Structure 1
Amino acid sequence: MKYLYEFFRDPFGTLRIKLSDEIKLFADFIEDIPTEEEADEYIEIVENVLNGLHEKFEIQLNATSVLIKKDMTVLEHFFRYEEPYENEMETEEFKELMLIWKSKIPERFKKNEN
């Protein structure tokens, strides 16, 4: 993954992800993926776009929408009060980010043992 990221626990103990500034809005989309099965569905959609099965595909979650195209994925945030309202990243990197998140989902709501 070419972008910086780190995991942290919020005050409620839930595992969250912090992304570098140029893609930080993607965290709101990624954190809305609650299960490995749902992550697999989205990863498959991205692979279908990358492989040319779909020219583009849009996924809307709670506060965000991602428009996945072969080269770039654009995220639009619906409820931000200040700019930026959109971020974009390479679709291959978006897929990698979802794979990283998927690997963390099982520990997302576990209590921090430290």
Structure 2
Amino acid sequence: MVDTTLYGIENCDQVRRARQWLRKRGVQVRFHDFRRDGLDRATLERWLSHLPWDALLNRRGLAWRKLEPARRAQVVDQPSAIEALLAEPLLVKRPVLEAGERLLVGFSDPVYLNTFGEPNP
């Protein structure tokens, strides 16, 4: 059995869709809430070994828009993105799903289906 963790926040629509999709298919998943559980450097660096920093940074979300323009302008490379994401985990594009060695960012039915397959009848 693959250790599977879904990272996000309870009230995010995309996170809810992902959780519902996984639940319907019987996928056992641990939920990590950024508001309650935060985000640690080791986890973020593990993700960044699989993806570029700008794939994890949600520049369309409310958390990004709430940042001062000067602070947003400072996020220009991986080190500055790491500091921003650690300081404000809600800047992470959601959900993030870790399933073994697979790392998925955002929710997409076809991508999840490719990762987990159809449930057994």
Q: TM-score, normalised by structure 2?
A: 0.27
- Structure with bigger helix share is 2
* TM-score, structure 1 as length reference: 0.27
Structure with the largest fraction of strand: 1
Specify which structure has the bigger relative contact order, considering alpha-carbon pairs within 8 angstroms and separated by 6 or more residues: 2
